[in-house]
Structure formats: C-alpha cells, structure tokens
Amino acid sequence: MKPEQKKVVLRGKTAVLLFFVSIFILGCGRSQSNTIMIWTTLRPIERELLQEKINIFARNYPMYRFQLLYYETEELRTNFIIASLAGKGPDIVQGPSDNIGPFSDLGVIRPLEDVFSSTFLDSFITEPFPANTWFHGHLYQIADRIGNQLTLVYNRDMIATAPATMNELIAVGQKIVKDTDGDGTPDIYALAWNYIEPYFAIPFIGGYGGWIVDDNFHPTLNSDAVIKAATFIYDLANKYKIIPRECDYETANALFLDGKVAMIINGPWSWATYIKAGVNIGLARIPKVDETGLWPTPMVSPKGYSVNINISKEKLKIVKHLIKFLTSDTLEEEFSKKFITIPSRKKALADSSLYEAPLFNAALSQVMVGRIMPVNSELRWIWDAMRPAYQGIFTGRYSPEKAAEEMQKLAEKLIRENR
Amino acid sequence: MTSTQSKNSPMLAYLYVGPALFIMAIVVLYPFLYNVILSFSNMNLTHFRDWHLIGLKNYLNVIEDTKFWYFLYKTILWTVLNLFFHVGIGVFLALLLNRDIRGKTFYRTLLILPWAVPQYITALTWRGMFNSQYGAVNLILEKFFHIQIAWLSTEWGAFTACLITNIWLGFPFMMIITLGGLQSIPGELYEAADIDGASSWQKFKNITAPLLKPVMVPAIILGVIWTFNNFNVVWLVSNGGEPSDTTHILVSWVYKAAFTYFRMGYAAAFSMVIFVLLLMFSWRFIKKTRVTENVYG
Amino acid sequence: MANSRNLSIKGKIGTHLFLLIFSVFAIYPILRVVSISLRPGNRLLSRSLSLIPPNATWDSYIRLFTREPFLQWMGNSLFISLIVMFVGVALAATAGYAFSRYKFRGRNSSMLAIITTQMFPVTMLLLPLFIVLIALHLYDSYVGLIIAYSATALPFTIWQMKGYYDTIPYSLEEAAMIDGASPAYSFYKIILPLALPALVITALFAFMTAWSEYLVAAVLLQDTRLFTLPLGLKRFQANMEVAWGLYSAGAVLVSIPVVVLFMFLSRWLISGLTLGSVKG
C-alpha cells in the first residue's frame, strides 16, 4: 500500500479503537451493590404514596439508594424471571400472589420463614383467609394488603342503590336501558364489564355453587355451575339485553366513565380512577344468585412482597426491615383510608376508624364472600384453557354445554403437557 | 471493463466488514446456540434447573401439532398479503411523490407518520377503532355504507383488522426505500423511452422495475422475515390471540409456550423450525434474484 | 432524479388525489391519538367521531414535562439513537461497500449469515442475550443497548447499502484509479457522496431502531436515570389502568423528533447521479 493509504488505514483503525474504548468507559455498568431495587405493579396514584414511604425509610440508610420501579403485571413476571435466572434482578418484588407459583417453581424467589419471627408472622390476619402466602411448605410472600376482588361498582347518580339479587338486577336493569338516538342499539346500558375474560366470570361460577378446580387442583370446568354461569352472562347480553353484546375491559371503562352505563364490575385497582374522574361511585357485593341463594365469589388474593433468591446477606437484613416497615399497621391504615385497600395486619384491620367509610365496608363485605385465588402455576393455564371455548359461547360457536366440555378437555391437556 | 484487479485486497474488505460482523456475532451467536441446545432439551416447569437432552422429541411434538400447521398457513397468508400491500402501496406512492408536483414535502411528512409514531399506541388505537360498537371504522362504515362488521369477535375479522393495521404501519417504509431507489435511475433513460413512444406501463416494466431491483430486494426479503416474525401487532390488536386463541401467528404462539407455559424446550424447537423455514425461503429467494452478486459475480 | 416530464392537468389532479387519500389514511389514527391526549380524564374510547374532544386540555402535556422526567428520557433516547445512527451509518456504509465491490472468502456466506440474525423470534433471544451482556459487564449501561441496537439495525442497512452501491457503475472508481486515486479515496470522495439517498435511509432506519425499541431496554436498564423514552412512557401503564392521556401525549411528542429528523434528512433523498461521462 502507498504511504498515504497506510496512514488512512492506520488512522481509521485507531479511530475505531478509541471510539469503542471511550464508549466502554463512558457507559460501563455501574456497581449495583449499594442499590436496593423494588419492582411493583401498583398503579401510579398508589405508587406515589409508596415512594414517599420508601423515601422516609431510606433516611435510615444513607449509604444505600432505594429505587422503586413499575412494571405491568405480565411484564413484571417475565422480566423478573429472566433477570433472576441470569443472576440479577430486583431485590424485592411487590405483586399479587399468583406469581408465587411460577416464581417458586422456577426457583427465583427466596423462602422467608427463616427471616421473620413467628410473632411477627402471627400478627397477620388469617380471616377471611391467610394474608401471607405459603406454598409447598415455604413462606414466599408477606402481604401488605388483601383484596384484588371484583366488586359491583355503581354510579350513584344513575342508580340510587345497588340491586341485591340477580332478579333485581335484571328488573332494574331493563328500566335503565335506553335507546336515546333511536338507531336500534341502546346507548345507555345497565351493566358492563370485561365479561369475555374468564377471570371476570369466575364470581358467577361460585355463585352457582361450583369452582374451577378441586382441592387437588384438578380442573372442574365441565360442571353445571360453569354452564349455568356462562348461560346467565350470555342471557344478560342476548335475552335480557342489559349488557352490551361485545365488551372488553377498555370499552366497559369508557362507558362507565362517560356515564353510559350504570354499573360495572371491577377491582380495587380501578376505583381511584373512577373517583378521580368525578364519578359518584358506590360499592356493593355482586348480586346474589336467586337460584342457589349464594353470593357470587370473586377471587380474592393478597398482594405483597417477595424476595429475590439472588439477594446478598447484607441486603437481606435491610430488606427485612423495609418489609416490616411497609407492612406496619399505621402505614397500612393510611393506604386503606386513601385507596380503600384492606389491611393485612390484625391490628390495622381491627381499627374502627376504617369502618367509618362506607366504601371500605362495602369492599370488605365483598372480600368476605370471596374465594382465595390459587397460586399454582397451573392457574394461568386454566385461564388459557377456558378462554377459547368461553369466548366461543359469545361468538355463537359453542353452546354453553359444549364449551364447558371443551374447557375441561383443554385444561387437562395443558396441565398434562406442560408439567 | 478494465481490470484493475490489483485493488482487490481482501485486507481492506475485512477491515470494512469486520466490525459489523463482530457486533452482530456478540448479540446473536450465543443466544442462538443457547436456543439450539434448549431445543433438544426437556426444559419446562418441572425440569427447569435439572433439564437434560431428549433428542428430537420436541421437534416431533411441534410437527405433530395441528396448531402448528394451521398457524403456519395463517402466518404465510399474513406475510404474503402484508408484503403485497406494503410494496404495492409503497411503490405506487413513491412514484407519485417522484413526480414534478407541488407540496411534496407536505405529503412526504404526512405519509411517514405511521412509521414515526410509536407502534404500541397506534396498534391499540386501531384496536379501538375496530370495536364493533364504538370504533371509528364501523361508525364510518355505518354512516356511508350502512354496514357493520364484527371485527374483533370473529376469527377472520380479527385477522383482517390486524392486517389493515400492519399495512398502515408498514407502507411508509417501502415508500421511502423506493423513493431512495428511484433516485438512482437516470432521467435520460425515461427521456429516451419517451422519444421511442413508450407508455407509462412499459416504462415502469422495462426501466423502473429492473433498476429498482437491487434496492428493493433486500427490503423485500427483510420485510418478509420481519412480517413473518411480527409479534407486536398481532398480539396488541387481537389482545393476545382473541377470539379464542385463533388470531395467532407462529411467533405469538412461541411466546405463549415460553412465558405462559414455560415449555422452554418446546418453544426453542418451535423457534428453530421458524428459523429453518425462513432460512430456506431466503436462500431460494436470494439465489433466484441473484442479489448477492456484485461486480465480480 | 425526479421525473420532470411535464404532467398534464389530468395527471396532476390524479396524483394529488391519490396522495391526499393516502395521507388521510395515514394521518387519521394519529389524529385520534392526538385527541386522546387532549381529552380530559384518561379515556381511550369514546363514541364520538370528533377529533377535538369537548373540554380539550393540555393537561397531559403539562404533566409530562413537570411531573415526569420526560425531558430526561428524551435526552437519553436522543443520545443512544444518535450514536446508533452514526455507528450504523459508519459500519453499514463500509460493510456494504465491501460486499458490493470486493471478492473475498466468506462473502456470500456472511451476507446470508447477516440476515439470518433476523430470522429468530426475539422473545427467545432475550434471556441468553441478557446473560451475555451481564457476563460482559454491560448490564444496566448504554453500551449494551447500543451494541444490541446496532446489531439489530445492521443487517438491513448493510444489504441496503450494498444494493444501492450496485446501482453505481464500477467504472467510476476505475476511472478515478486510473487517475491515481487510492481505493479508499475513491470510496470516500467519489462513491459515498453518490450513495447519499441510501445513507439517508440507513441513518433514519438506525435511528428509528434505537428510538422506538422497548423489549431489550426493559430487560437491560434498571437505573431510572438511564431510562429511554419507550421505557418512560410505558410506566404510565398500570395493569388494567392506563393513563391514556399521558401516554398519548407522550406518543405525540416522541414522534416529533423522528419527523423532524426525516424532514431534515429527506433533502438528501434526492441525489444527482450525473452519468454524462461514463457509460458501461
């Protein structure tokens, strides 16, 4: 090569080398040893309060940096698994209890029974169900609230009191439904909710006396209760016509926020949004099923903190104190008063001042007739097994009886294949 | 052609190509090998840390699953239709934009917007627009044509909804590529053709299309591969495969297997099959269009 | 070159008509996004077709700047995307040239190997990629992201550049070298300027790859100070409760730099290939 060519190539090579070196120096990963990372699924409004509390706690540990990060539920599960399997990940995850199954099966969270004293653990409620989550003999989650229950939310400006039974619901509902612009489709509905999602139909299955699994976690989907529940919902849309014929989560929300529907069935995560939007809401139990005299049983679950299996000994000590702090009675009561959450500590739950709020009482009364959500990994597969056939009822593909059969078959298949 | 072959020093070529290949290797090589091994293993929920190799069993499971063939068919249909419209609309618009008219910048800017706005929210916006009672699509159809289509609650309605969304997302890209490619076609060729009295179609067929080839073919091959593997749009518009888990293409099904069922071995095998299919397609396509050829053949 | 034959009036009207129709098609959903961002109260759906909602408010935008570190996210994203853009252009321009003009062992197989990197479903690559980047101490840093993004953008851009170089006759370099220019000189000074449209596309594409990517960033970045725009925006979501107003406002603002970049670069999408002299 000619001399100037040599120079060009040499200059080029050094430039490239320098470039990469500088970027390496610039962007090299920082040391993580003095950061305590918490992942949460809490919605923004509640998260702010949680952040405040963490900041207060952080003052005691000036050498550490506490960081709260939000992830959407699905994402939290997937990303936590990936990170933890690779040896990294946050120190604490806060989320619903159904993550415990996959997390413990995959070995990404740490058992906690040796970390906390039994006196501490005993101060958590056991009625209506245990707040802390044990699975396969180990403690995996310390709860800071219980609930997650689907509840009947009604717009007090559109309907003065909530119906107590299904027949009442239908009667009142049919009066509310109106076609204001005369185009043949109603513009005001009585009730709307994400009924095409199996999770949102669960309460009715319990209301008809059945459940999705038995005590040994075998699916029990091909049952009368399931068929009747699905038929009932189908009738609400097609026979009594008090709910829209096609409705998903966002549609139901939009209708309720716009005042186009009087009632919605949704969980605590959504109530603050309704209140903030100025809807005058009331809460009530999902109406009783007349045929059986039973209250529908939404799934209830605790929400709380689990610890990454990769956590170091030093951080574990701090995390222990943090969890104790975040589940203290005063803190739980504060959350409860602001966000209608239900405390997980006995003392907090016994505080009479909480019961002065009618919304709290209504929320608690719904939890009382709820049924605890299983934490097994298979639960997700049950949803998946239910979804196709269940949605097929509303598209006219299956009759409710056939759908129940299909759900059961698919559930058994998935459990068989994936275990 | 003169033959200054002395310049053909591979050193310079390797220097030019080396860094790029190195970067791609870091990111892809290990993950790829990881998956290859996984695909021969029985890693799943019960055998997560203590997995072992089980040979071809996963592959057999994949091939024996009727769902695989059904979704393969759907994925191919998805890919072909998308590419047809992407390229068709893109080339059409690029030709229009290449003409001597006013307001080109205005149109160009508007037409690139689908590519510029984050896909997440536009996909969800389209989903909202396909809502059969409240969506803009049906509202417009009702107003002007007096029909209502149940988009998202039927299998092929949902498929079409995903298709329309993805066409909307994808045509700007092909349009830009074509625009770039059109710049390399000398105007004199068209002038000469005009003198010979050629029609628009003849000019397109004999001048534009062949000269666009080197630029379009990479875009088409990669367009096929990306569309085949486009997980986001299908997942978002159909809300995870609704109705009834029928609105899937192969990759969304892989995602489910891996992260909902934790059947990692199976998912890896599935991914390998997708990979091999795409590899075979690309290989044949490349050979046929001879697009890897260069000055030296 | 632009097709500069004079169009008839019919041709002009037809052209404008079609362009308008497609422009409306392109922009309508985006206008809906804008209207969500102006709608008070975080609602996604509404039965009205109107684009400016009643009680339209700039609240969401104001919140983005005052209560969320939107500008910081934007700064981070700009930094990463611009670096990826430069790296992408540098590497693709040279690699594409080599593939177009040189013959060397492994040429064909490298070309094929490059696009095979795109054929594997991304979701399965995440975990092992994560492991690799941790092993290289690139976890929670920009370097890891830049490498990952460059690797994603390179296959298409290299092929694209090669394709474009193929349309430039080799005779140009030959003529230059007869005149005594070195191969490097003829590449940088003669060919590269002619490939400007392709460079524009490469730059835009590389930028976009980094700018709008979410999955990898979500797994790799933990320090909120490093967050990119897609990560920051997604934080507005809360499972089953999305702050649609904020999210839409964010989406609108996120699109603006891309459009600006495009408008800036598109002037070079028109090139002049003066081929008066050399014919093959």
Please report whether residue B27 resides in a domain.
no
- Please give the interface size between A and B, counted as residue pairs whose CB atoms are below 8 Å apart: 75
Question: Do C44 and C87 lie in a common domain?
Answer: no
User: Which of 44-103 (B) contact A at CB < 8 A?
Assistant: 44-46, 48-49
Residue C218, token pair as written in the block:
């979500």
* C neighbour chains, 3+ CB pairs within 8 Å: A, B
Contact C29 B129 (CB under 8 A): yes
The DSSP symbol for A399 reads: -
* A neighbour chains, 3+ CB pairs within 8 Å: B, C
Contact A196 B242 (CB under 8 A): yes
Min Cα–Cα distance to chain B from C121, Å? 6
> Cα–Cα distance between C4 and A46 in angstroms, integer?
62
Question: Do C36 and C108 lie in a common domain?
Answer: no
pLDDT at position B1 is 36
Higher pLDDT among residues C239 and A411, named by residue? A411
Residue B60: phi and psi, rounded to 5, are -60, -45
Question: Do C90 and C1 lie in a common domain?
Answer: no
Contacts of residue B174, defined as CB under 8 A and 6 or more positions apart, other chains included, come to: B86, B87, B89, B90, B91, B94, B219, B223
Contact B19 A419 (CB under 8 A): no
Question: Do C143 and C52 lie in a common domain?
Answer: no
* Number of domains chain C is built from: 2
Please report whether residue C135 resides in a domain.
yes
Please report whether residue B201 resides in a domain.
yes
Domain of residue C186, residue span: 64-272
How many CB atoms are closer than 10 A to CB B291? Answer: 22
Question: Do C50 and C73 lie in a common domain?
Answer: no
Contact C143 A23 (CB under 8 A): yes
The model's pLDDT over B45-79, given as tens digits with 9 standing for 90+, comes to 878 878 888 889 999 989 998 889 999 999 999 99
Contact B229 C4 (CB under 8 A): no
What is the full DSSP assignment across B83-112?
HHHHHHHHHHHHHHHTBS-S-HHHHHHHHH
User: Which of 153-182 (B) contact A at CB < 8 A?
Assistant: 153-154
The model's pLDDT over C214-264, given as tens digits with 9 standing for 90+, comes to 878 887 888 888 888 888 877 665 444 556 777 788 888 888 888 888 888
The answer to whether C19 and B96 have CB atoms below 8 angstroms apart is yes
Please report whether residue B28 resides in a domain.
no
Question: Do C93 and C224 lie in a common domain?
Answer: yes
Please report whether residue C103 resides in a domain.
yes
Min Cα–Cα distance to chain C from A328, Å? 25
Contact C201 B177 (CB under 8 A): yes
Q: Chain B partners of A196 at a C-beta cutoff of 8 Å? A: 242
Please report whether residue C13 resides in a domain.
yes
Contact C116 B23 (CB under 8 A): no
Please report whether residue C278 resides in a domain.
no
Please report whether residue C91 resides in a domain.
yes
> Cα–Cα distance between C118 and B212 in angstroms, integer?
23
Residues in chain B: 297
> Cα–Cα distance between A226 and A201 in angstroms, integer?
9
What does the angle CA C186 – CA C188 – CA C194 come to, to the nearest 5 degrees? 90
The answer to whether B92 and C222 have CB atoms below 8 angstroms apart is no
How many CB atoms are closer than 10 A to CB A215? Answer: 6
Question: Do C19 and C145 lie in a common domain?
Answer: no
The model's pLDDT over C33-88, given as tens digits with 9 standing for 90+, comes to 888 788 776 666 665 556 677 777 787 788 778 877 888 888 999 999 999 999 99
> Cα–Cα distance between B132 and B152 in angstroms, integer?
7
Q: Look up the CATH number of the domain holding residue B141.
A: 1.10.3720.10
pLDDT at position C246 is 76
Please report whether residue B178 resides in a domain.
yes
Question: Do C37 and C83 lie in a common domain?
Answer: no
Please report whether residue B26 resides in a domain.
no
- B263 to chain A: closest CA residue: A418
Residue C44 touches chain A, beta carbons under 8 Å: yes
Contact C141 A37 (CB under 8 A): no
Residue A24, token pair as written in the block:
């390496």
* B neighbour chains, 3+ CB pairs within 8 Å: A, C
Coil vs helix vs strand at B238: coil
pLDDT at position A208 is 94
Question: Do C90 and C144 lie in a common domain?
Answer: yes
The model's pLDDT over B79-92, given as tens digits with 9 standing for 90+, comes to 999 999 999 999 99
Distances (CA, A) of B126 to B115, B159, B243: 14, 13, 17
Please report whether residue C280 resides in a domain.
no
- B186 to chain C: closest CA residue: C1
In this structure, of B187-191, C162-166, C263-267, the range with the lowest mean pLDDT score is C263-267
Contact C119 B136 (CB under 8 A): no
The answer to whether A211 and A220 have CB atoms below 8 angstroms apart is yes
The model's pLDDT over A137-179, given as tens digits with 9 standing for 90+, comes to 999 999 999 988 999 999 999 999 999 999 999 999 999 998 8
Contact A418 B132 (CB under 8 A): no
Is the confidence at residue A265, as pLDDT, over 90? yes
- B8 to chain C: closest CA residue: C102
Min Cα–Cα distance to chain B from A74, Å? 9
Contacts of residue A78, defined as CB under 8 A and 6 or more positions apart, other chains included, come to: B259
Residue C164 touches chain B, beta carbons under 8 Å: yes
Please report whether residue B104 resides in a domain.
yes
Residue A237 touches chain B, beta carbons under 8 Å: no
Which of B11, B92, B111, B125 would best serve as a mutation to test chain C binding (most C beta carbons within 10 A)? B125
Mean pLDDT of chain A: 88
Please report whether residue C264 resides in a domain.
yes
The answer to whether A162 and A154 have CB atoms below 8 angstroms apart is yes
Question: Do C17 and C87 lie in a common domain?
Answer: no
pTM for the full model?
Answer: 0.83
Q: Are strands C237-238 and C241-242 parallel, antiparallel or unpaired?
A: antiparallel
- Side-chain-side CA neighbours of C21 within 13 Å: the count stands at 9
Is the confidence at residue A273, as pLDDT, over 50? yes
Peptide bond between residue C128 and the one before it cis (omega within 30 degrees of 0):
no
pLDDT at position C8 is 78
Contacts of residue A168, defined as CB under 8 A and 6 or more positions apart, other chains included, come to: A287
pLDDT at position A93 is 96
Domain of residue B172, residue span: 65-289
Q: Chain A partners of C139 at a C-beta cutoff of 8 Å? A: 29, 88
Coil vs helix vs strand at A151: strand
The model's pLDDT over A66-104, given as tens digits with 9 standing for 90+, comes to 989 888 888 889 889 988 988 888 999 999 999 999 999
Min Cα–Cα distance to chain A from C2, Å? 36
Q: Chain B partners of C15 at a C-beta cutoff of 8 Å? A: 96, 99, 101
Q: Look up the CATH number of the domain holding residue C246.
A: 1.10.3720.10
Distances (CA, A) of C245 to A260, B121, C32, C59: 20, 11, 12, 9
Peptide bond between residue B243 and the one before it cis (omega within 30 degrees of 0):
yes
Confidence band, pLDDT 50/70/90 cuts, at residue C272: very low
Min Cα–Cα distance to chain B from A14, Å? 12
The model's pLDDT over C97-131, given as tens digits with 9 standing for 90+, comes to 988 888 888 888 888 888 888 888 888 888 888 88
The model's pLDDT over B104-157, given as tens digits with 9 standing for 90+, comes to 888 988 998 998 887 877 888 898 888 877 788 888 888 888 888 888 878 888
Question: Do C51 and C78 lie in a common domain?
Answer: no
Identify the CA nearest to A256 among candidates A193, A341, A181, A350: A193
Question: Do C50 and C79 lie in a common domain?
Answer: no
- C145 to chain A: closest CA residue: A27
> Cα–Cα distance between C181 and C97 in angstroms, integer?
17
What is the full DSSP assignment across B111-167?
HHHHHHS-HHHHHHHHHHHT-TTT-HHHHHHHHHH------TTSHHHHHHHHHHHHH
> Cα–Cα distance between A132 and A317 in angstroms, integer?
19
Please report whether residue B46 resides in a domain.
no
Q: Chain B partners of C32 at a C-beta cutoff of 8 Å? A: 125, 128-129, 136
Label residue A410 exposed, middle or buried (CB < 10 Å: 0-12, 13-18, 19+): buried
What average pLDDT does this structure show over A100-128?
92
Min Cα–Cα distance to chain A from B163, Å? 21
pLDDT at position B6 is 40
> Cα–Cα distance between C162 and B294 in angstroms, integer?
9
- Please give the interface size between B and C, counted as residue pairs whose CB atoms are below 8 Å apart: 330
Distance of CA A4 to the CA centre of its chain: 67
What average pLDDT does this structure show over A260-274?
90
Contact C271 B184 (CB under 8 A): yes
* Number of domains chain B is built from: 1
The model's pLDDT over A341-379, given as tens digits with 9 standing for 90+, comes to 999 999 999 988 999 999 999 999 999 999 999 998 889
Helix count and strand count (H, E) for chain A: 16, 11
Residue B256: phi and psi, rounded to 5, are -60, -45
Contact B218 C119 (CB under 8 A): no
Confidence band, pLDDT 50/70/90 cuts, at residue B249: confident
pLDDT at position C258 is 87
